[in-house]
A and B are shown apart, each in its own frame.
Chain A
């Protein structure tokens, strides 16, 4: 379908507007971002629709709930065992990758990781890069870094490509452009995508045509790029193999067409054996998109060997820490590293469904983002994220590797308010969310509730003062009526009815 009557200038202006709106959102504080997102009817509709759809797809593919629970047990066990031997597995991985001809680079920080990638590219005089999808590269802001060094880095996953064209950030870890409508994408492609002949792509709202247009552009880039960058879903220590899960074939193109392939991943992605892969893969694709298996599953075990006709001449792996060692050493927060980045937690989160991914202001949105981001960037900078949760548990119930996400969020709230002496293993910004006002409120609350007589006089006063109750209570009464205390508390009613307090022979603890 090609639309005839349109105004290219108006369209370009709308695309610019979307970009400005995003930039404006980025400037704001979490609450303001959430509010703006909530007020955007179109956005709310698309996220709620998308999460309903993804939940239904997951449910359908995990029809047999006992099989699902069994598989989740396996997934959890594999991830926990891998983490239990993480240092050893990483050493084995390095040894076997090196033996296979894959060069390994270690990066403690995001900055170091970017610098590694840059120096590999610079050493090979590479100026153009095609990228498969990689959340770690988003985490370390690699595109931005390379751009500053004059290196063009083109995203080749359809969603990432659109987000890059729009100058935005992914709003979901699996479906980066989930926030965009077809019309927005059509305008974006027409105004910003450029064919290799320098012409704009014709305007269309037909999804297949849109994808066809992007594919044509990307084909040329794959053929001419100096290097390819990708993420890694699992790295197998005992065989020295990098596994990459994808649906579009762009991952395979990015990792095989250019002469250099640089893979980037977090140190937690390692598993011991090939035998660990099938269950994790099945959990990943089913939880993420409701697919039994993804369209492509790549296992990369070496650069091009002599006599082979294709494949890159060099393969590199950059292993990124960026706060992961700290998570590893934290007894309560260690399960954060079990994550296989399937996105199911955000698909099941009622908060994410309403505010969307951009409101979180971080690479990883939703429940896993609320857990990972403050640990990476500090509770002082991203501490408010942990308050944006009702602890309803839907994420933990969906997580294929049984990460107790609500428990971790609660733990982070504790860390955020902690007054314990500082230690080396601390999350940055520990204690930074503690405000005198709130701390005093909880102290007072504890006093009122730890002594029976004090508590009873408080509820007595509450019921007797019910007519004096304010009719407004901040955010609560903006959309709700004020709850009214009863005339007498249950303590009073029970006492009046002569209800016994303790079994005979047991003393009243007062």
Chain B
């Protein structure tokens, strides 16, 4: 039984001329093509994408481990890289949540507090931006079916579970969701290393639920979850490939040209 998706109230701007793309460190090294797909997808819809070479990581790994000073040092670099007053589109729900929900706390009482809050206000998760700001006309059905895993940060911190679903449906693919759809996959950043046994148990249950859908593609907008669930599926020898939602949207866009 699916829970009603939680939707957050937030004001959205009209379609801007330019946006920054925050690739995130995981996409940067492990799925850079997803970043390029996102850039091309957005450019195709008339939004110029800027990619500051000075960006690195949002700082979340250290922040969630309780190392605030280290998180701040790294986050400061992002404040500089994304300084201009244009929207920031983030490739992963958890990094978007770090900027949107946690930067204010991280920089509380610091000289950059106002800057951090301003950045938080113009930060959008990728599917959120596509769904709420681009507002695209639907593409014809492709007959393709995908299993969707929505990360916990996308669902609960950003409140964009519905955006994930809508952008996929809108692109013409059929979305299947696994049993216990709202449950965490067990990644949790350093949790996967610090509490390896519990993490593995959660990932195995999630992989089981994904495999039970009988669909050969798993999509998500969070690289961490995809590496966790996908890595578990691969180890189990199950032929299910993982893709970032941006890559699927770009593929559908190209197919419909």
Instruction: Please report which residues of chain B, range 1-32, place their CB below 8 angstroms from some CB of chain A when the two chains form the complex.
Output: 1, 3-4, 6, 18, 23, 25, 27-32
For the complex formed, measure the closest distance between the CB of A482 and the CB atoms of chain B, giving whole angstroms: 8
User: Is there an interface contact between B184 and A394, defined as CB atoms closer than 8 Å?
Assistant: yes
User: Is there an interface contact between B53 and A34, defined as CB atoms closer than 8 Å?
Assistant: no
| B211 interfacial contact with A, CB 8 Å | no
Q: Within the assembled complex, what's the spacing in Å between the Cα atoms of A448 and B51?
A: 19
User: Is there an interface contact between B50 and A503, defined as CB atoms closer than 8 Å?
Assistant: yes
| B123 interfacial contact with A, CB 8 Å | no
Q: Contacts A350-B186, A393-B152, A417-B67 hold; do A490 and B80 have CB atoms under 8 A apart?
A: no
| A423 interfacial contact with B, CB 8 Å | no
| B163 interfacial contact with A, CB 8 Å | no
User: Is there an interface contact between B77 and A449, defined as CB atoms closer than 8 Å?
Assistant: yes
| A481 interfacial contact with B, CB 8 Å | yes
User: Is there an interface contact between B191 and A59, defined as CB atoms closer than 8 Å?
Assistant: no
Q: Contacts A389-B191, A445-B70, A510-B54 hold; do A500 and B64 have CB atoms under 8 A apart?
A: no
For the complex formed, measure the closest distance between the CB of B27 and the CB atoms of chain A, giving whole angstroms: 6
Q: Contacts A393-B156, A452-B54, A479-B204 hold; do A489 and B32 have CB atoms under 8 A apart?
A: yes
Residues of B within 8 A of A500 (CB): 48, 50-51
User: Is there an interface contact between A493 and B204, defined as CB atoms closer than 8 Å?
Assistant: no
Q: Within the assembled complex, what's the spacing in Å between the Cα atoms of A485 and B184?
A: 24
Residues of B within 8 A of A501 (CB): 50-54
| A42 interfacial contact with B, CB 8 Å | no
User: Is there an interface contact between A509 and B188, defined as CB atoms closer than 8 Å?
Assistant: no
User: Is there an interface contact between B32 and A415, defined as CB atoms closer than 8 Å?
Assistant: no
User: Is there an interface contact between A387 and B191, defined as CB atoms closer than 8 Å?
Assistant: yes
Q: Within the assembled complex, what's the spacing in Å between the Cα atoms of A389 and B192?
A: 10
Q: Within the assembled complex, what's the spacing in Å between the Cα atoms of A388 and B77?
A: 30
Number of A-B pairs whose CB atoms are under 8 Å?
Answer: 229
> Interface-forming stretch among A271-279, A322-330, A470-478?
A470-478
User: Is there an interface contact between A390 and B50, defined as CB atoms closer than 8 Å?
Assistant: no
| B36 interfacial contact with A, CB 8 Å | yes
A483: contacting residue among B30, B62, B69, B188, CB under 8 A? B30
User: Is there an interface contact between A413 and B39, defined as CB atoms closer than 8 Å?
Assistant: no
Instruction: Indicate the size class of the contact surface on chain B.
Output: 35 or more
Q: Within the assembled complex, what's the spacing in Å between the Cα atoms of A113 and B74?
A: 48
| A205 interfacial contact with B, CB 8 Å | no
> Interface-forming stretch among A102-110, A311-319, A456-464?
A456-464
Q: Within the assembled complex, what's the spacing in Å between the Cα atoms of A412 and B71?
A: 16
User: Is there an interface contact between B64 and A391, defined as CB atoms closer than 8 Å?
Assistant: yes
User: Is there an interface contact between B77 and A494, defined as CB atoms closer than 8 Å?
Assistant: no
User: Is there an interface contact between B193 and A474, defined as CB atoms closer than 8 Å?
Assistant: yes
Q: What mask results when residues 45 to 77 of chain B are scored 1 for a CB within 8 Å of chain A, else 0?
A: 000111111111101011111111111011011
| B114 interfacial contact with A, CB 8 Å | no
| A455 interfacial contact with B, CB 8 Å | yes
Q: Within the assembled complex, what's the spacing in Å between the Cα atoms of A488 and B27?
A: 11
Binding site for B on A (CB under 8 A): 31, 34-35, 38, 44, 52, 56, 59, 65, 350-351, 354-355, 387-394, 396-397, 410, 412-418, 438-439, 442-443, 445-446, 448-452, 455-456, 459, 462-463, 474-486, 488-495, 497, 499-503, 506, 508-510
Closest CB pairs A-B (n = 9): A475-B196, A390-B188, A413-B66, A480-B231, A392-B184, A490-B32, A392-B152, A393-B156, A414-B66
* 25 CB-based A-B contacts, threshold 8 Å: A38-B198, A56-B1, A350-B184, A355-B198, A387-B195, A391-B188, A392-B152, A394-B156, A418-B66, A442-B67, A452-B77, A459-B29, A462-B29, A476-B193, A482-B231, A484-B30, A485-B29, A486-B31, A486-B32, A493-B32, A494-B23, A495-B53, A500-B50, A508-B54, A509-B80
20 additional contacts (CB under 8 A) given A59-B1, A486-B33: A31-B197, A35-B197, A390-B199, A397-B6, A415-B66, A417-B65, A417-B66, A449-B56, A450-B56, A451-B77, A475-B192, A475-B197, A480-B232, A483-B227, A484-B30, A486-B29, A486-B30, A503-B18, A503-B84, A508-B54
